[in-house]
């Protein structure tokens, strides 16, 4: 049995969510990763630990507290209501917020490692040529850290695609609005529609394998060239 319109809608919504989340994570994660890589502030440890929390925290725990925070009595919920945005739970925007927070370490940590690997010499050389900090970042740091950006983009996108607990807690199960592929697979299994579940689950398995293959192949090529 092939995929029906509901399955295709879930696939499209998942792709849309992962794409938006990845772009936002790169925009937000790049300055954060740069700060973590360069700072000597005592706040580096606590902030780094907060960023890495989703690696060890059960998704349902993070989803629960986000649901409370974005609810009518939560700080974030009151803020969005005062701004005229309404409440974020059970909306696509809420899924984006939850996905950004849940996938944050998969983008920030590769970028931080890439920035730390650059070292001081390229930055000092650029400074002797009177390059401004912004010019130095654009012309020196970004090209040297490109492998880190590739890794961060792939991991951030793939991790968002595979989310379940967080998106289910925040978005619920609304067709064409918050029902992503992982939730759709759960629905098929719960309804004992194993054929449809096999199509989606097999696609997820193939997607995950291709992502890892591309990631490890690129790392092998970089190591071989080095």
Residue pLDDT tens, the chain, 226 long: 577 888 899 999 999 999 999 999 999 999 999 999 999 999 999 999 999 999 999 898 999 999 999 999 999 999 999 988 899 999 999 999 999 999 999 999 999 999 999 888 888 787 787 777 788 888 888 888 998 999 999 999 999 998 888 998 999 888 889 999 999 999 999 989 998 899 999 988 998 888 888 877 776 565 544 4
Q: How far apart are CA 165 and CA 183, in angstroms?
A: 9
- pLDDT score recorded for residue 224: 47
- pLDDT score recorded for residue 132: 79
Query: 109, 122 in Cβ contact below 8 A?
Result: no
Local structure of residue 226 (DSSP, 8 states): -
Q: How far apart are CA 117 and CA 144, in angstroms?
A: 9
Residues across the chain? 226
- pLDDT score recorded for residue 98: 94
Question: DSSP of 44-55, one letter per residue?
Answer: HHHHHHHHHGGG
Query: Nearest to residue 180, comparing CAs of 44, 21, 37?
Result: 21
- pLDDT score recorded for residue 221: 60
Query: 62, 54 in Cβ contact below 8 A?
Result: yes
Q: How far apart are CA 65 and CA 110, in angstroms?
A: 26
Q: How far apart are CA 73 and CA 211, in angstroms?
A: 40
- pTM exceeding 0.85: yes
Q: How far apart are CA 184 and CA 99, in angstroms?
A: 17
- pLDDT score recorded for residue 89: 92
Q: For the packed helices 92-118 and 146-161, what is the interaxial angle rounded to 10 degrees?
A: 150
Question: DSSP of 74-121, one letter per residue?
Answer: SHHHHHHHHTT----TTSHHHHHHHHHHHHHHHHHHHHHHHHHHH-SH
- pLDDT score recorded for residue 226: 47
Query: 149, 114 in Cβ contact below 8 A?
Result: yes
Complete domains list, the chain, with CATH: 5-109+149-217 (1.10.3720.10)
């Amino acid at each position: 049995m092939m995929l029906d319109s509901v399955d295709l809608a879930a696939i499209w919504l998942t792709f849309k969510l992962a794409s938006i989340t990845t772009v936002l994570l790169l925009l937000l994660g790049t300055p954060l990763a740069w700060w973590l890589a360069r700072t000597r502030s005592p706040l580096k440890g606590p902030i780094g630990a907060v960023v890495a929390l989703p690696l060890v925290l059960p998704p349902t725990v993070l989803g629960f507290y986000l649901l409370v925070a974005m609810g009518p009595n939560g700080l974030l919920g009151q803020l969005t209501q005062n701004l005229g945005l309404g409440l974020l739970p059970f909306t696509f925007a809420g899924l984006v917020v939850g996905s950004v927070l849940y996938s944050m370490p998969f983008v920030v940590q590769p970028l931080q490692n890439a920035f730390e690997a650059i070292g001081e010499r390229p930055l000092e050389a650029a400074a002797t040529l009177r390059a401004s900090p912004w010019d130095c970042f654009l012309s020196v740091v970004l090209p040297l850290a490109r492998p880190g950006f590739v890794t961060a983009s792939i991991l951030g996108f793939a991790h968002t695609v595979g989310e379940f607990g967080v998106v289910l807690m925040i978005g619920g199960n609304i067709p064409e609005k918050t029902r992503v592929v992982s939730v759709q697979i759960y629905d098929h299994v719960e309804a004992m529609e194993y054929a449809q579940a096999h199509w989606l689950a097999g696609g997820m398995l193939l997607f995950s394998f291709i992502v890892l293959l591309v990631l490890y192949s690129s790392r092998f090529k970089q190591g071989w060239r080095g």
